[in-house]
Amino acid sequence: MNDAPHTPRRALLSVSDKTGVVEFARQLAQRGWEILSTGGTYQSIVEAGVAARQVSDVTGFPEMLDGRVKTLHPAVHGGILARREPGHLEQLEQHGIGTIDLVCVNLYPFRETVARGAEFPEVIENIDIGGPAMIRSAAKNHAGVLVLVDPADYPVALQDEVSPAERQRLAAKAYRHTSEYDAAITAYLEGTSDELPTALPEQLALNLTRAAQVRYGENPHQPGAIYRLGAAQGPVLDAQLLSGKPMSFNNYADADAAWALCEELSEQEAAVPGHEAVCVAVKHANPCGVALAQSARAAWERARDADTLSVFGGVVAVSRPVDLDAAQAMRGTFLEVLIAPEVSPEAVAWFTEKKPDLRVLVVGPAAGVSRLDVRPLTGGFAVQERDSRPWDDLCPEVVTGREPTEQEWLDLRFAWATVKHARSNAVVLARGGVTVGLGAGAVSRIWAAERAVANAGELAQGAVLASEAFFPFDDVVRLAAGAGVRAILQPGGAKRDPEVIAACNELGLSMVFTGSRHFKH
C-alpha cells in the first residue's frame, strides 16, 4: 500500500464512532501495521487483544487538560504531513519522528450532543480540535497517507494497493466531513448567542447528507434524492416503513405536509372531548380532507367523506394508532401513503395482503430540527424561519356585534390550523370538526372562497370560514353569508376592514381578527 523504505507502516486510530474499529485494528496488525491510538479507542483495541501504542508514547507528553490536548504535536503532524521524498524524510529522521501512513479519525459527537438537548458547556466540550487537524493534515498529504473518516471505507485500507484516484476520493470525503462539522458548530453558536442572529446569519451553510434514494424527483425525467440536514431527525424522514413500496420523492413531501398538520391539530385539540383522533388527507401538499373524531376509524371516515374525489390517490396521516378496524375502513379508497404513530400487527398484515402497494409508515422521532424553511431560487435560496406560531400565541379579537358560539370557536381554531397549512390563496370551511370545503392555491382570494363554497355545497350551512390572509373587499363575506356560513376568521389589517366588518354586521355573521397572517407559497 505504501512503498516508502521505512518499516513498519503506522496507523493512527482515534475515533468517536467505534463501529468496526477493533476488527479493523486487528486486520491491520495481522498485516504488519503498528497501531497508534488514543483514549477510549486505545482502550477498546488493547482490551480486544490487539497490540497498540498510545500516542503519548510517541509524543513524550501525556494527554493534558482533560483530554483537550493529546495529538497536537510535531511527532504526530510531522509524521502525517511529511512528503514521501528525501528532503522531508531526512528532516523527520533528524528529529526522531516516524511517518504515519494511515489516519483513521472521526469526530466528537457534536451534532448528536446538540440534538439531544445537552447544556451549553457539554456541547462546547464536544467540539473536536485535534481530530479535524489530523484529518485535514492527512487529506492534504493523501498521496502518502490514507485518511478514513467512515467505517464503510475501512476495507479500502486493507487492499494491497490503493489507487491515486481512490486516495483523492477519501481526501475529498474527509474535507467534506470536517466542513460539515464546522458548519454545525457555526450554526449552533450563532443560534445560541444573544448578540448574533438567531437563525439568519450573513453566511449560512447547509450541511446535507443523503438519507434516502428515490427512483426520481417530482417527474420521471428529474433525478431526486432525500437529504438530512445535519444530525436532525424527522417524523417522515426517519419513519419506519412497515409495508408497501419504497417511498417516492412526492410521497416524502406529501407525508411531511400531512403529518405537520396532523401533529399541530393533535396538540391543539388534545383537551377537547370527542377530538382525540385527527386524520389529515393531503393531495399535492394541500389538505383535501381533515377531521377530528373519537377514534382513528371515525376520523378517517370523516376526512374521506369531506372530499371523496380528491382523497383518491392521496396521503393520509392519523394521530392515533391504526388498528385492524381502522385499516379495514380504508378498503375502498386508493391511497399512496398512510402514516401514524403506531399500526397494529393485524392491520399491517391486512394492508400487506389487501393493499400491497400502500406505503404504511410509523412516524420517526423529531430531534434537532432546524427552524429554517429553505426554498430554491435560480442561483440561490430564499430562507426564512418556519411558520410555527401556535393558536395560543394569538390574541383573537371579535370585531363584530355577534360573538361566535362555543362550537364556532372550536371550528374556527380547527379551520385556522388547516388553512395555515394550505397553499395561498387559501380558504377553508369547517363544521363540527371536519373540513367541508377547501379552496387552495388560487390566484384570487374570491376564487379560493368560491371553490371552498362550491366544494361544501349544502354543508356550508352553519359552517365557519378561515382565510390565511386579510380580505381586501367584502366580496368573500357576502359569498360566505349567502352559502350559510356563520363565522369568519381572518388576520385583519386591510384598508377596507371597516367595510368588511360592516358587511358582517349587516348579514349577522361573527368575524374574528387574529392579527397574524399565514401565507404559504
Give the angle 195-201-204 at the CA atoms, nearest 5°: 145
> 27 and 174 share a domain?
yes
Choose the final residue of a domain: 140, 158, 192: 192
> 327 and 435 share a domain?
no
Global pTM reads 0.76
Residue type present at position 327: A
Q: Are strands 314-318 and 335-340 parallel, antiparallel or unpaired?
A: parallel
> 136 and 72 share a domain?
yes
| In a domain? residue 385 | no
Give me the number of domains the chain comprises. 3
> 182 and 272 share a domain?
no
Q: Which parts of 228-360 fold into alpha helices (H)?
A: 249-268, 296-306, 308-311, 324-328, 345-354
> 300 and 432 share a domain?
no
> 173 and 26 share a domain?
yes
Pull the grid cell for residue 334. 386508493
Pull the grid cell for residue 417. 390550523
> 239 and 341 share a domain?
yes
Q: For the chain, how many helices (H) and strands (E)?
A: 19, 21
> 254 and 158 share a domain?
no
Domain that holds residue 102: 10-192
What dihedral angle (degrees, nearest 10) is formed by the CA atoms of 62, 68, 74, 79? 90
* Active-site residue set: 140, 284
DSSP assignment of 359-399 equals: EEEE----BS--SEEEEEETTEEEEEE-----GGG---EE-
CATH value at residue 446: 3.40.140.20
CATH value at residue 21: 3.40.50.1380
| In a domain? residue 206 | no
Helix axes 74-81, 130-140, angle to 10 degrees: 20
> 352 and 403 share a domain?
no
DSSP assignment of 132-193 equals: HHHHHHHHHTTTT-EEE-SGGGHHHHTSS---HHHHHHHHHHHHHHHHHHHHHHHHHHHHH-
CA–CA separation, 339 vs 361, rounded Å? 5
> 157 and 81 share a domain?
yes
CA–CA separation, 419 vs 398, rounded Å? 19
| In a domain? residue 273 | yes
| In a domain? residue 352 | yes
> 275 and 402 share a domain?
no
C-alpha 263, offset from chain centre:
15
| In a domain? residue 174 | yes
| In a domain? residue 4 | no
Which helix or strand (DSSP H or E) is residue 114 part of? helix 110-115
CA–CA separation, 520 vs 430, rounded Å? 20
Residue 505's SS3 state is helix
The pLDDT tens digits along the chain (521 residues) read 333 334 578 888 888 888 888 888 888 888 888 888 887 888 888 888 888 787 776 765 666 555 555 556 666 767 787 777 777 777 667 776 777 888 888 887 787 888 777 888 888 888 878 888 889 888 888 888 888 898 888 888 888 888 889 888 999 989 888 888 888 787 777 765 444 445 677 777 777 888 999 999 999 999 999 998 877 889 999 999 999 999 999 999 999 999 999 999 998 877 677 788 999 999 999 999 999 999 999 999 999 999 999 999 999 999 999 999 999 999 999 999 999 999 999 999 999 999 999 999 999 988 767 778 888 999 998 988 889 888 988 999 999 999 999 999 999 999 999 999 999 999 999 999 999 999 999 999 999 999 999 999 999 999 999 999 999 999 999 999 999 999 999 999 999 999 999 999 999 999 999 999 999 98
